[in-house]
Amino acid sequence: MFAVLMIWREKLAIDLGNIALVIAMIVSIYAMLGSFLGISRRSDVLVMSARYLFFTIPIFLLLSAVALVYAFVRHDFSVRYVAENSNLAMPSEYAWVAFYAGNSGSLLFLVLVFSVLATIAILTLRRKLPIVSHYSVGIMAFVVTFFVFVMLFFANPLERLPITPSDGQGINPLLIHFGMFIHPPVLMTGLVSITIPFSISMGVLMAGQGGEDSWIDIGRIWAMLSWLVLTLGLLMGSWWAYTILGWGGYWAWDPVENSGLMPWLILTAFVHSIMVQKRRGMFRMWNMILIILAFSMAQLGMFINRGGPVPSVHSFAQSSMGWLFLGFMVFTFLISIAIFCFRVDTLKSSAKLDSIVSRESVFLFQNVLFIVVALVTLWGTIFPVFSETIDDTVMTIGRPFFDQVNGPILLAIILFMGIGPLLPWRKSRFKVLLNVLKLPLLVAVLLPIILLFLGITNPLALVAFSICSISATGIFYEWIKGTRVRHRHGENWVSAFLRLLLGNRPRYGGYIIHLGIVMLAIGVVGSSFYDFQKDFVMSPGDSSEVGDYSFKYLDVETKQFSDREEQIARFEVSKNSDSIGIMSPFRSFYPEKRISATRGAIHSTLVEDFYIVASEISENKQGVFRIYINPLVWWMWLAGPIIFLGAIFAISPSKITLGKRVKENSLVS
Amino acid sequence: MIHFEINTRKSSEVISVIFLALIFFSCTVQLEQNDEIKRSHSLNKEIMCPVCPGESIDQSQNPLAIQMRNLISEKIELGWSDEKIKDFFVDRYGPRVLLAPPSQGFGLWAWIIPPIILVFSLTLFLYVLRRMFLSKDHLAVIDDDKEQSNYAKRVTKSLEAHVRSVNDMERKIGD
């Protein structure tokens, strides 16, 4: 009797989840139609009911999500998604991971996160931009409707199987890693959250308020948040790839990596050019185009990731619904452009460009470079499709191509990242430019000379480090100078520095982020130009040396698990005869799935990583081991927290914007 | 004031240089690798592992990739040129085995389009910039050149404006 009740309860949970999904769909359709109809009929009742009903969507989606997670925890294999993405052997904490590891579950995750963010966004919008918020509700409800529609009709995570299997197929063993808890959800959140600034901007456009810059503060905050989450998601992905995949790299220009990078590039352009609009009332059209592009690029990512035509390690298996997302992307892009063209007369700049040498023009130039990188990346990503359909040859575009083509442009962006902030707004002369650049240029010339003496001879690396130094020097110079001025007014050094930063948060937050980017660039340059690798064939007891490191292969231990076999090699490693300790790279083999995974052992310092990968370990314990020495990689991971701090600092509310509220307007009045 | 300017410059200069030099000091790790090993590594990075889409044989741990890596080392020892080795793999697996498309035939398009995008965007940028600049209404342009560029003055100015709020903050922190 009890067992029957339990089964009934499980079934009930799934049914409830399905019902909640249907209700979410109905509510979002109402919110969409109610908003737009309400605005055109000037009906307060309609728009307000639409808004408040929209607030219930996260609750219904959460119910569905809970039902799915519950099904995972209870190993309810009557649910297709659960059977395909878990098995009895899976550790229970991976129920959370399995929730978004597959195609349909990740859709539910995306729309749930989006609806929560959208609700918060509407709450922040409704007082400051009442009319705009009505449009935004409609747009956000449209997006929710599309996602829930796709789930209900094409990829329902709560769909049942006709026959309940005794065990599920399990999750891809490569996903059983700590990175899986953070990288996919953060990156997905970042991608879907671009929809928030997009909805706000489109709401502004539709409401005909593009000429008023009242939305800029709130739009900027949401864009920055989205940018931050996306940045962290990408960094976490790199970190994960570096630690688990065992190839000593962190970025492979894989199609799906590119599809996350492209919206990031456009969004980066947007968060810069929106500052020009905030300060100068310029670039209004440009900003709208950028956010439309960023949103479209994010949708394109959904297409590539979900069964698009480009093969990738990230793709969800056998999903053909990419085309739905492509259709959605094309549709939203065309509609957005149509609205833009219809409203373009409201977007006239209130100010003109006073000088070619000004911060505005450098920002615009930097924007152009970001878009060029994004377009080139897009071209490289889809080129194989062209070559296959037009020329009938299968071609691959990988890292060598992107490094050569994008590398120089990215370096140029770093250069202008150093110059732009040093220039004043509005107007300047080349003389002024040279004056502010004097010190950074001096360092940029001195540094390569110092480095040359230290033994760095690669000209490209020297140029890259020199460019990085321009940015860093410019930032330190302003900080030291500003702090000194405050110090002379009687503040002690620490508080002078902190108050300097607090005085202009968008600017100095930006500087902190720039420092993070410089660190990232240093890591990338160091590890790309000076990575070292060598393969060693070793038997237990053998020792060998690389540079300052010496290592001894002690032995290998084989452990049997229910789903896999692990071979754990043990190395005794020392540098300059100082012991580093035992390092244990291992290989695991999953016989059922015929997948072998390798995990490197990394000894990480500020200067370089010493990285051992077990490429092959045979029965007689003889193994092929690959040693990497990757300089400066650690700086890349350190950049993450610094960028995080900088971004939070840049958008933290200052006293001026706090408490400044506009009364909620009615549509009728 | 002049004295102060020089001082700041000097100190920031020294600090920045020291900081940056420290960062970059670490790049001195340059291990001697002979040309053959370097060549094989750069070739490994350019050739895709046929059974693991998107991964180079350099990064893949698949047995086939290991086999191909060994093959490349052998061919280099036999004195083959990079081109000949690449052609050897293209003959076996088709052009998709190369991670950067060949700069001939249809693959040329892959290389031509990016510079076109760059040149086109820069031209458009210059055109827009020119238009924005030329179309400016000659309103009373305040020549605040010095004011804007003098960073120290601006900091002082903002300091004076915020002196009261700073005091407030201090009081709050004191509480």
Query: Alpha-carbon distance A23 to A34, whole Å?
Result: 16
Query: Alpha-carbon distance A223 to A193, whole Å?
Result: 8
User: What pLDDT was estimated at residue A407?
Assistant: 92
Q: Do A396 and B101 lie within an 8 Å CB cutoff?
A: yes
pTM of the predicted protein model: 0.88
Q: Which residue has the tokens 């996919």?
A: A184
Q: Which residue has the tokens 């219809």?
A: A342
Q: Do A547 and B29 lie within an 8 Å CB cutoff?
A: yes
Report yes or no: A315 and A305 within 8 Å, Cβ to Cβ: yes
The answer, for B136 touching chain A at a CB cutoff of 8 Å, is yes
Interface size between A and B, measured as CB pairs under 8 A: 261
**For residue A596, what are the contacts with CB-CB under 8 A and spacing of at least 6?**
A587, A588, A589, A590, B61
Residue whose C-alpha is closest to residue A647's, from A232, A42, A94, A196: A232
CA atoms within 13 A on the CB side of A529: 23
Alpha helix segments (H runs only) across A489-584: 493-503, 505-529
- Report the pLDDT averaged over residues B55-70: 82
Using CA atoms, how far residue A37 sits from A43, A46, A131, A370, A666, in Å, is 8, 8, 13, 38, 15
The tens digit of pLDDT for each residue in A327-352 reads 999 999 999 999 999 999 888 877 77
User: What pLDDT was estimated at residue A408?
Assistant: 93
Mean pLDDT lowest among A321-325, B13-17, B58-62 = B13-17
**Single-letter residue type at A231:** T
Angle at A379 between CA A155 and CA A465, to 5 degrees: 115
**For residue A41, what are the contacts with CB-CB under 8 A and spacing of at least 6?**
none
- Farthest-apart Cα atoms in chain B, separation: 79
Question: Of A219-228, B4-13, B92-101, which has the strongest mean pLDDT?
Answer: A219-228
User: What pLDDT was estimated at residue B133?
Assistant: 75
Q: Do B149 and A428 lie within an 8 Å CB cutoff?
A: yes
- The per-residue pLDDT of chain A, averaged, comes to 88
For A147, other C-beta atoms within 10 Å of its C-beta total 24
Residue whose C-alpha is closest to residue A288's, from A343, A249, A359: A343
Query: Alpha-carbon distance A17 to A9, whole Å?
Result: 12
The answer, for B129 touching chain A at a CB cutoff of 8 Å, is yes
Burial track B28-47 (b if 16+ CB lie within 10 A, e otherwise)? ebbeeeeeebebbbebbbbb
- Report the pLDDT averaged over residues A559-564: 84
Alpha helix segments (H runs only) across A207-254: 216-244
| A270: pLDDT strictly greater than 60 | yes
Report ipTM for this prediction: 0.85
Residues of A in contact with B7 (CB under 8 A): 484
Chain B contact probe: residue of A353, A449, A549, A616 with most B CBs at under 10 A: A353
| B89: pLDDT strictly greater than 50 | yes
Using CA atoms, how far residue A216 sits from A128, A275, A538, A664, in Å, is 11, 8, 62, 18
Query: Alpha-carbon distance B13 to A480, whole Å?
Result: 10
Alpha helix segments (H runs only) across A41-102: 44-54, 57-73, 80-85, 94-101
Q: Grade residue B138 by pLDDT with cuts at 50, 70 and 90.
A: very low
Alpha helix segments (H runs only) across A393-492: 399-419, 430-454, 459-488
Q: What share of chain B is helix, strand, coil (3-state, %, to 5)?
A: 70, 0, 25
Query: Alpha-carbon distance A368 to A375, whole Å?
Result: 10
Mean pLDDT lowest among A127-136, A572-581, B127-136 = B127-136
Could you tell me which residue, A619 or A244, shows the higher pLDDT? Answer: A619
| A645: pLDDT strictly greater than 90 | yes
Q: Do A596 and B110 lie within an 8 Å CB cutoff?
A: no
The tens digit of pLDDT for each residue in A26-52 reads 999 999 999 999 999 999 999 999 999
Query: Alpha-carbon distance A589 to A555, whole Å?
Result: 18
Query: Alpha-carbon distance A377 to A261, whole Å?
Result: 9
Residue whose C-alpha is closest to residue A130's, from A55, A34, A44, A223: A44
- The per-residue pLDDT of chain B, averaged, comes to 72
Q: Do A489 and B99 lie within an 8 Å CB cutoff?
A: no
Query: CA-CA-CA-CA torsion for A43, A47, A52, A53, nearest 10 degrees?
Result: 100
User: What pLDDT was estimated at residue B26?
Assistant: 45
Q: Give the residue extent of every domain in chain A.
A: 1-176, 429-530+634-651, 532-631
